[in-house]
Structure 1
Amino acid sequence: MTEQELLQKADAFIDANINQIVQDIKTIVDIPSVKSAPQPGAPFGTEIRRALTAALGIAERMGFHTVNCDDYLGYAELEGERSEYIGTIAHLDVVPAGNGWHTDPYDMTVVNGYLMGRGVIDNKGPLILTYYMAAFFRDLGAKLPYSLRMMAGCDEESGMEDVKYYIAHNPQPVFLFTPDSEFPLCNGEKGHLDGNFTSRRFENGVIAAFTGGFATNAVPDAATVLLRCDASRCPAAERITVTATDEGTRIDAVGVGGHASHAEGTVNAIGVLADYLLEHDLVTPEERDYLTVVSLLCRDHLGRSLGVDCDDGIFPPLSIIGGTMRMEDGVMKQSFDSRYPTNITGTQLAEKLAAVAHRYGVEVTDVSESVPFYIEADKPEIQACLNAYNDIRGLNGKPFTMGGGTYARHFQNAISFGTEIPAEPLPDFVGKIHTANEGIGIERLKMSLKVYILALYRLMQIDFTGDAS
């Protein structure tokens, strides 16, 4: 079969199945699979476990053999001529919905040709595309040269313990892509350092409660503080609402949210609130010191205010954002999420942040790190995926590196590959990943599936094993 004939069959297959694809995406998007406390048989919470059951159920209905990897992760498999396998992996866990939705984030709807709901693009919709990519080749009737394994992860947003478990108990794929990024493809990811700026316990402070953000890897669009003071001390200000309550004075701040790896144009609501409290001298000296660190963190996503900005010329410059603020028993914790290039190490970055914090009596705690990774773009498997996208779109796109972190960094030979295209504008009612009104167009789904079909066809022709037979 020529590639032209393959693509003609792909077009017919996609058109015949697109309505069922949309319905299958809805089945799993409608489950609010945000990480919660572990339960027996549900290491990442019952809703994520329910989403895994539903996703494997879809694969079983489609006729695939499925495996549940002790509730950490599941996969559907299409047996090939070899036991060695090419893998795909997408994730079922999602960040919380947040504020500002025009539709129910957990009741997926189609609005003017766009699927709307939390996870439609990050990353439940792309998971379903991998199932239908496999179904296309199964329906052709001949075995593929390699087996194909479509994995459904459960902990991508919160630490990737799922793939760590999987890799410890399973052989690595000869190649893997995760449809959890942008086209044309990403062959390198910055290092990732996260942790908390933690205060000392405030005794007799003005701040009674402070909350903000819904995920450590997202710029918060809302934050709230409750003060033990009279509302008359709190003047009006942009992005600020002051409300007198029986418990004290509540102050709400509104920002502009976004993903930690794409913080350009965001306004951190926690930073807005911290700056307001500092500007109007509404807190104790000890609280002022802590909020100064928070302000420095939230003021500049490139880390210049903290003195940690750097750029290696390979990856995008270092970025750092404040994600969530929590206060418990008088102790405040402001999370930070940094994506760093190769001219600084995670240890060096942590030391610099600790030095800034120390000047204000603040401690850096709960630090964790993932080192950068990079795969040369001239490898045949990278070119197979890249050229599949360019050939379908009639473009000349180049591989890129990014600050986002995907499952790809945990595998020996892997990339992230679609389905976002930031350069192509979305309608005003459609949001991006980790924002309100997350959406993806049906035409994007159809195009992406066609790209994946062509890419897999070419990948299957590569000798990954060194066995010429």
Structure 2
Amino acid sequence: MKREIIDYFKKNKDEMIKAISELVAVPSVRGAAEEGKPFGKKPYEALMLALKKAESFGFKTASCDGYVGTVDLNGGEQELAVLAHLDVVPAGEGWDTDPYTVVEKDGMIFGRGVSDDKGPAVAALYAMKAVKDLNLPVSKNCRLILGTDEECGSGDLKYYFSKNEYPKYAFTPDANFPVTNGEKGRFTKHFYRTVDFSNCKKYIKSIDAGEAANAVPAFAKAELIGVTKEEIDIAAEKAKHTNAEFTFDGEKLICSGTSAHASLPENGNNPITALFELLSYIDFDSECTEFADSLKALFPHGKYNGEALGVDMSDMLGRLTLTLDVVRFENGKFDGCFDTRTPMSATKENCADVIAASLRKHGFEIENTKMREAHYVDENSDFIKTLLRTYEDYSGDKGECISMGGGTYVHDIENGVAFGAISRDTVTNMHGANEFMPIEDILTAAAIFTEVIAEICR
């Protein structure tokens, strides 16, 4: 059966890439809600496109009021669910190609969503098609659940599971192989402050950076009043240890960094904190100087573990990470949003409340202190053993369980884990510029998913 499955996907490679390309062409970033389109036109358009493709394969599909789409392998009792999402983060800046046109080069495809999560969604759909086309013996149902709001809080799944039972077993192809059975919790919040620079002659007029709370941005911009180019040059020299690039036209300052997923901030170079570093070296009027110093004190450049906020901690799921990803400051009103990924030991008392208190010391208020707890599934379960055994068989790599900082679609499902679709240790620039996916990873993942579906739903 293994050889049949592998050959099946070799033959269908071009068709799969075409299907991914069609989905990537839809810029399915969350938009304004409309009737029947709760997350905007484009996520809904991507969902309808995917369901139409599944229907062409002979599968029964359904839309859950535009929040989620489902594809059923058969009419049997549901044993397994595969959860993938069709929404994406904004393209951002710094791309070498059009982010919404798939480009194939050197055995990889490039485009927003090819790895997160449209490519893996297509791999899962074609795995179900392979089970059907190869007449693999199954008696129970596998349901592919296609969501449209994973990047902005997973309100789609909250709605779906308010009307449907949780699956017995579930995996999401929204991470790296082998199996991710532990996911950090999350504390992502807006915080605010109002300042009055009306009597200042030398001050920060505005700051604009970031688009999504779960992505370190590539650029941060500020408008400065009363600051000379010479002063900027001196400050940039003092801030050169940030390894960011600074440009100034006499009023607008642009800081260029490197984007990354917020769960792996060390893979990027945060331009927001680099900007704060530079601003701290400028002799603004006193009110603005205090403001700039507070920002640097709370979010020092190169520190990603909450040290300055008093919440650096670690355990079996790894070390806490905290990154400031969105800032809007204009007309004296500051609105920032940070993303914290918390280990099992983090609680409201030792994490959320501590962060709130640290912010208050510098004049900032946080929206609330509600946290999302960490998630863990026993690695000795038969379900996980099946996933690991199949992974080893098709990849030749050792199967083992790992933990991650990013919360996935199965975070709130009791027997839910992340399983692929990206090969171990491959960093695909998801949420950043030039996101890519190795074609071989797509084919291997599809083959693994096929075997898993066939075995669990036998």
Conservation of the 8 A alpha-carbon contact between 1:290 and 1:361:
no
1:226 aligns with 2:223: yes
The aligned counterpart of 2:154 is 160
Residue 330 of structure 1 and its aligned partner are, at CA, apart by: 2.1
| CA gap 1:295/1:270 in 2 versus in 1, 3 angstroms | farther
Query: Given that residues 240 and 252 in structure 1 are in contact (C-alpha distance below 8 angstroms), is that contact kept between their aligned partners in structure 2?
Result: yes
Contact 2:141–2:457 (8 Å) recurs in 1: no
Instruction: Write out per-residue CA displacement over residues 94-145 of structure 1, whole angstroms, 9 at most, x where no aligned residue.
Output: 1111121111001111112211100000000000111111111111336622
Closer, same or farther in 2 for the Cα pair 1:225/1:283, shift >3 Å? farther
Which of 310, 314, 326 is 1:311 aligned to?
A: 314
Contact 1:390 1:397 in 2 (8 A): yes
Counterpart in the other structure of 2:338: 336
Name the SS for the 1:390 alignment partner.
helix
Contact 2:184 2:406 in 1 (8 A): yes
The match for 2:27 among 21, 26, 32 is 32
**Within 1, Cα distance between the matches of 2:252 and 2:156?**
40
Paired position in structure 1 for 2:130: 136
Whole-angstrom CA distance in 1 between matches of 2:28 and 2:376: 30
Shift of 1:422: 4.9
Contact 1:268 1:298 in 2 (8 A): no
* 1:112 partner amino acid: D
Q: Which of 198, 201, 210 is matched with 1:213 structurally? A: 210
| 2:314 partner amino acid | D
Name structure 1 gaps, 5 residues minimum.
1-5, 462-469
Match of 2:246 among 240, 243, 265: 240
Measured in 2, the distance between the counterparts of 1:45 and 1:366 equals: 27
209 and 86 in structure 1: CA distance in 2 versus 1, 3 angstrom threshold: same
**Aligned-partner SS, 2:350:** helix
Alignment-mate amino acid for residue 352 of structure 1 = V
Secondary structure of the residue aligned to 1:43 is coil
Any idea what the Cα deviations from partners look like across 1:20-43, whole Å, max 9, x if unmatched? 100000011111111122122211
List per-residue Cα deviations over 1:148-207 (Å, max 9, x = no partner): 111111110111110011111012211111000110010011110011231124342622
Q: Which residue of 2 aligns with 1:271?
A: 273
Give the Cα–Cα distance (whole angstroms) in 1 for the partners of residues 217 and 285 of structure 2. 22
Return 5+ residue gaps in structure 2 as ranges: none
The farther-off stretch of 113-122 and 281-290 is 281-290
Could you tell me how far apart the structure 2 residues matched to 1:367 and 1:439 are? 36
Kindly, what percent of the aligned residue pairs are identical?
32
Aligned match for 1:302, one of 288, 300, 305: 305
Instruction: Give 1:398 shift.
Output: 1.3
CA distance in 2, matches of 1:39, 1:229: 45
- Structure 2 residue identity aligned to 1:308: V
Superposition TM-score, scaled by structure 1 size: 0.91
Give the equivalent residue in structure 2 for 1:14: 9
Alpha-carbon RMSD: 1.8
Equivalent residues of 1:219, 1:257 under 8 A apart = yes
1:105 match: secondary structure: coil
Measure, in 2, the Cα distance between the counterparts of 1:316 and 1:10.
Answer: 36
After superposition, the C-alpha distances for 1:63-100 in whole angstroms (9 at most, x for unaligned) are 211100001111111115x3233110111111111121
Is 1:171 matched with 2:177?
Answer: no
Partner of 1:408, secondary structure, is coil
Partner of 2:66: 71
1:433 aligns with 2:397: no
Does the Cα contact within 8 Å between 2:223 and 2:252 map onto a contact in 1? yes
Contact 2:70 2:144 in 1 (8 A): yes
> SS state of the match for residue 5, structure 2?
helix
Shift of 1:367: 4.8
> How far has the Cα of 1:412 moved from its partner?
2.5
Return the letter of the residue paired with 1:69. C
Residue equivalent to 1:405: 407
Deviation of 1:442 (Å): 1.2
Letter of the 1:344 counterpart: A
SS at match of 2:299: helix
SS at match of 2:310: coil
* More divergent stretch after superposition (232-241 vs 106-115): 232-241
- Number of residue pairs the alignment of both structures matches: 445
Structure 1 residues 77 and 224, CA gap change in structure 2 (3 angstroms): same
Offset at residue 234 of structure 1 (A): 3.2
1:178 and 1:408 in contact (8 A); partners too: yes
Classify 1:357/1:283 alpha carbon distance in 2 versus 1 (closer, same or farther; 3 Å): farther
| 8 A contact 2:179–2:388 mirrored in 1 | yes
Alignment check: 8 A CA contact 2:136 2:454 kept: no
Match in the other structure for 1:107: 101
For residues 221-274 of structure 1, what are the alpha-carbon distances to aligned partners after superposition, in whole Å with 9 as ceiling and x for unaligned? 210001222434632224211112xxxx11110112111111124221011111
Matched-pair contact (CA < 8 Å) for 1:164–1:410: no
Q: 2: CA distance between counterparts of 1:419 and 1:376?
A: 21
**Is 2:451 the partner of 1:454?**
yes
Cross-structure match for 2:373: 371
Among 55, 58, 61, the residue aligned to 2:56: 61
Verify the 8 A CA contact 2:25 2:100 in the aligned structure 1: yes
Higher relative contact order (CA 8 A, sep 6+): 2
